[in-house]
Amino acid sequence: MAGRLNGKVALITGAASGIGRATAELFVREGARVVAADIQDDKGARMVEELGPGLLYVRCDVTSEDDIRNAVDTTVRTFGRIDTLFNNAGAPGPNEAADGVTRQSFDEVMHMHVLAAMLGIKYAAPHMRASGGGSIISTASVAGLQNGFGPILYAVAKAGIVHMTKLAAAQLGPSYIRVNCICPGLIATPIFAKGLGVATQVADQTVTSALRAFNNSQPIPRTGLPADIAEAALFLASDGSRFVNGHALVVDGGITVGPTRETEAGGVYAPIIQAFMEDFQLTPPG
C-alpha cells in the first residue's frame, strides 16, 4: 500500500545518514514532503538531487535552539504546515562509567538527546495545534529501557526520552498531537563505530562490519537495518496510528527478550566490537 503519507509534511533531524536517511527516503516514497535537517551539508545536497522536489534540506545543529526553531519555521514557511516531527539526531557520547562521568560529557549528551527533542516539541507543537493535530516521534533506544545496551550517559538520555514521551503525550493529546518514541535495538548504522572513537568519514564505512556482526545478536537471526526503524516511524506518522499515544515502540529483533546462545559469553556488543577490531585494526577499548 503506497501513499500512506499523502499530503503530509514531515521534519526529520539527523536525516542525512542512517535511520534518518532511510526514513526520509521512505516518507518521500509514501507521498510526504520532507524537510531533512542535518549538519552534513554534502550528504544533504545529494539527498535533494536523489529524492527530488519532495525533499528540502536545511542545516540544523540540534544543540542549537536557534537552528531547531529555524528548521521548524522553514518547514512551515515552505510547505504551509508540519504534520510530523521526527526527533532523530543523536550521537553515542563518551564511554564513561558512573564514577568517571564529567560535567561536560553529561551536558553534551543530555543536550544532544533530551533537550533537543524537547525543543523540537516546543517549536513544532504550536503549529500542529493550529492545524488540528500531528505526530511527534523521537528516537530512543533499548538502552533507555534496561542495562547492557550502551554507555551510562547515552542510556540515561534515552530513558529520559522515553519518559518525556509519556509526559508530553498526556499534555498534548487533548490537541490531537500524538507523541511516541521508537526504541531501536542493534541497527547497522555508523553510530557504533563513532562510539569506539572512529572518525565520521571512516565510521560510514563500518556498516558492512555491523551487518556481519549483528546477524546472531538477537533471536531473529539477521541484522537490524535503518529501514526497519523507518517502517516504524512511518506507522507512527501515518493515520494508521491515530490512536497510539505515549508509546515506546521497541524494534529490536527480540534482543531485549534475553541473550541468545551466541551472545551469552561476551555481551551483545562482543560481535560488533570484534568485527571492527579486525576490519579497521582498532585497539580494543579499555
269 catalytically annotated: no
Pairing of strands 55-59, 33-38: parallel
Quick one: average pLDDT of 70-97? 96
Q: Which of 57, 154, 176, 269 is catalytic?
A: 154
Pairing of strands 55-59, 177-184: unpaired
- Predicted TM-score (pTM) of the model is 0.85
Pairing of strands 55-59, 84-87: unpaired
CA distance 205 to 256: 27
User: Is residue 172 within 8 Å of 214, Cβ to Cβ?
Assistant: no
Please name the residues in contact with 50: beta carbons below 8 A apart, sequence gap of 6 or more: none
Pairing of strands 134-139, 84-87: parallel
What is the model's pLDDT at position 194? 46
Residue type, 43: K
Q: For 66-75, 112-121, 220-229, which range has the lowest pLDDT when averaged over its residues?
A: 220-229
Per 3-state DSSP, the chain is made up of helix, strand and coil in percentages (nearest 5) of 50, 15, 35
253: left (phi over 0), alpha (psi -120 to 50) or beta: left
Q: List, for residues 172-218, the tens digit of each pLDDT value.
A: 999 999 999 999 999 987 554 444 444 455 444 444 555 555 666 77
User: Is residue 249 within 8 Å of 183, Cβ to Cβ?
Assistant: yes
Q: Which DSSP symbol is given to 217? A: S
Please name the residues in contact with 269: beta carbons below 8 A apart, sequence gap of 6 or more: 192
- The yes-or-no verdict on residue 236 having pLDDT over 60 is yes
- pLDDT band, residue 16 (cuts 50/70/90): very high
What is the model's pLDDT at position 173? 98
User: Which cell numbers in the block locate residue 163?
Assistant: 519518559
Q: List, for residues 50-74, the tens digit of each pLDDT value.
A: 999 999 999 999 999 999 999 999 9
Q: Which DSSP symbol is given to 101? A: -
User: Is residue 11 within 8 Å of 33, Cβ to Cβ?
Assistant: no
Please name the residues in contact with 256: beta carbons below 8 A apart, sequence gap of 6 or more: 142, 145, 146, 185, 250
Domains of the chain: 9-187+224-253 (3.40.50.720), 189-221+257-286 (no CATH)
